[in-house]
């Protein structure tokens, strides 16, 4: 039976979307990549596409995260509403939320899926039924592949009674490579920044990203130094299982590190149970102000530990020792930023009768 010509896809140059994919790809490469993060890129991308006349009413981006605390991030844009962002915990891949989702099929099998939601045809996944009840008529989800080999997913849905046209579907297919390139760039930049902050601190991390990586590069700063450790940690680690020790350390770090960050400090190093943090003197500030922030953070950390001890059994913590010091951060052959001046560390550590052994960097 001959096909109704009204149902045939339009020729490539006969749709309002002709050239739109190329224009949008150019915008992503020329302007979009300079936006702050993937959240902002998705927001502006969707608004731009909607203004062009493509009937998107909902777009979702599901990305694998390079982060030790969460496995992925899901962002959902809806026409006329603020963008929603949700961080997904490690282990979500074992839950029904993931297993019964089209995202799983797309990311694991790297194939595009499409459903018409109008009518009464049975739907494969619970989210499709929810979208049908919300008035959506068509849903498409496709793989968004990074150059490193990770497959993410992006979906778009419309409430337009006739759904997407063939030209509009072609637009989405053609835009994916440029969008994936920019999304991967932002994800990796965030990952690198997070790793550097974790291992060398936020200030030193920024210096590395700015190119200060040569041997002998130094920068002198003035800061308050905080040193804190668990009381009787050696005895505790000998008497508890490894899993229990890690659990206690995580609770302890949550208590003492959060106030450090909240009051403008940064953790420079974790030495087993010991935490070395610094509070930099601002360009127009005074040493007393840095010490005050350190003292406030120490007080808040101790209060958090008291509260956590009340709810859970956690070994005690020595008093946090503070010391105003002049420090030099530098690169010594490796990309490794350290504190120079063993006397400052000795003074901070011996204030509580504790002695830390370390190799001097003054030689």
Do 169 and 275 lie in a common domain? Answer: no
Domain closes at, from 138, 165, 198: 198
Q: Which of 171, 198, 225 is the last residue of a domain?
A: 198
Whether residue 206 is contained in a domain is answered as: no
- If asked whether residues 194 and 220 sit together in one domain, one would say no
Query: What's residue 282's pLDDT?
Result: 81
Regions of the chain short of the pLDDT cut 50: 1-14, 314, 316-342, 345, 348-363
Give kind and range of the element (H or E) at residue 58: strand 58-64
Looking at the structure, tell me whether residues 49 and 113 fall in a common domain.
yes
Specify if 262 maps to a domain.
Answer: yes
Q: What is the pLDDT of residue 327?
A: 39
Note whether 264 and 325 are same-domain residues: yes
Same domain, 222 and 309: yes
Give me 242's structure tokens. Answer: 């490894």
Q: Is residue 293 part of a domain?
A: yes
Q: What is the pLDDT of residue 355?
A: 32
Q: Please name which of 9, 13, 20, 76 lies closest in space to residue 49, comparing C-alpha atoms.
A: 20
Residue 208 inside a domain? The answer is: no
Q: Is residue 41 part of a domain?
A: yes
**Residues 260 and 331 occupy one common structural domain:** yes
Of 149, 207, 219, 186, the closest CA to residue 38 belongs to 186
Which residue range(s) make up the domain with 334? 216-350
Q: Return phi, psi of residue 330, to 5°.
A: -155, 170
pLDDT of residue 133: 95
User: What are the C-alpha distances in Å from 99 to residues 94, 95, 152, 266?
Assistant: 7, 6, 15, 39
Asked whether residue 356 is domain-assigned, the answer is no
Q: What is the pTM of this model?
A: 0.67
The verdict on 85 and 178 lying in the same domain is yes
Do 162 and 287 have their domain in common? Answer: no
CATH assignment at residue 190:
3.30.450.40
333: left (phi over 0), alpha (psi -120 to 50) or beta: left
Q: At what angle do helices 287-311 and 242-262 cross, to 10 degrees?
A: 140
Distances (CA, A) of 207 to 203, 275, 329: 6, 22, 10
CA–CA gap between residue 176 and residue 328 (Å, rounded): 46
The number of domains in the chain is 2
Same domain? For 31 and 95 the reply is yes
pLDDT at 17: 61
Any domain includes 211? no
Answer yes or no: do 234 and 281 share one domain.
yes
Please report whether residue 24 resides in a domain.
yes
Predicted pLDDT at 38 = 94
- pLDDT, tens only, 58-79: 999 999 887 777 788 999 999 9
346-352, Cβ contacts within 8 angstroms, sequence gap of 24 or more: 347/323, 348/225, 348/226, 348/227, 348/321, 348/322, 348/323, 349/227, 349/321, 351/321, 351/323, 352/318, 352/319, 352/321
Dihedral sign (CA 306, 310, 311, 314): positive
Domain limit, last residue, from 133, 166, 198: 198
Cα–Cα separations (whole angstroms), residue 26 to 47, 175, 334: 16, 10, 39
For residues 190 and 235, membership in a common domain is answered with: no
């Amino acid at each position: 039976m001959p096909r109704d010509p009204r149902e045939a896809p339009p020729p490539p140059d006969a749709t309002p979307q002709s050239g739109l994919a190329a224009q949008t790809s150019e915008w992503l490469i020329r302007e979009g990549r300079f936006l702050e993060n993937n959240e902002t890129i998705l927001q502006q991308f969707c608004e731009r596409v909607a203004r062009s006349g493509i009937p998107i009413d909902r777009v979702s981006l599901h990305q694998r995260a390079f982060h030790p605390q969460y496995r992925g991030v899901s962002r959902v844009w809806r026409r006329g509403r603020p963008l929603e962002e949700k961080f997904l915990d490690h282990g979500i891949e074992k839950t029904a939320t993931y297993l019964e989702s089209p995202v799983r099929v797309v990311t694991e099998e790297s194939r595009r899926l499409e459903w018409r939601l109008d009518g009464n045809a049975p739907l494969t996944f619970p989210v499709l039924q929810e979208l049908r009840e919300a008035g959506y008529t068509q849903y498409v989800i496709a793989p968004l592949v990074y150059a490193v080999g990770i497959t993410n997913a992006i979906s778009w849905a419309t409430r337009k009674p006739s759904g997407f046209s063939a030209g509009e579907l072609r637009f989405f297919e053609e835009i994916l490579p440029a969008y994936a390139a920019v999304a991967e760039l932002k994800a990796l930049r965030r990952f690198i920044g997070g790793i550097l902050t974790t291992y060398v601190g936020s200030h030193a991390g920024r210096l590395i990203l700015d190119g200060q990586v040569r041997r002998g590069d130094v920068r002198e700063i003035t800061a308050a130094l905080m040193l804190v450790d668990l009381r009787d940690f050696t005895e505790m680690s000998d008497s508890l299982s490894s899993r229990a020790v890690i659990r206690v350390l995580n609770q302890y770090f949550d208590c003492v590190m959060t106030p450090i960050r909240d009051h403008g400090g940064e953790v420079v190093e974790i030495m087993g149970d010991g935490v070395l943090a610094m509070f930099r003197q601002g360009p127009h500030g005074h040493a007393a102000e840095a010490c005050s922030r350190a003292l406030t953070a120490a007080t808040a950390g101790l209060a958090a530990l008291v509260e956590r001890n009340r709810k859970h059994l956690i070994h005690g913590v020595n008093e946090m020792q503070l010391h105003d010091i002049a420090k030099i951060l530098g690169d010594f052959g490796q990309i490794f930023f350290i504190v120079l001046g063993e006397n400052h560390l000795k003074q901070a550590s011996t204030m509580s009768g504790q002695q830390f052994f370390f190799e001097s960097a003054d030689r």
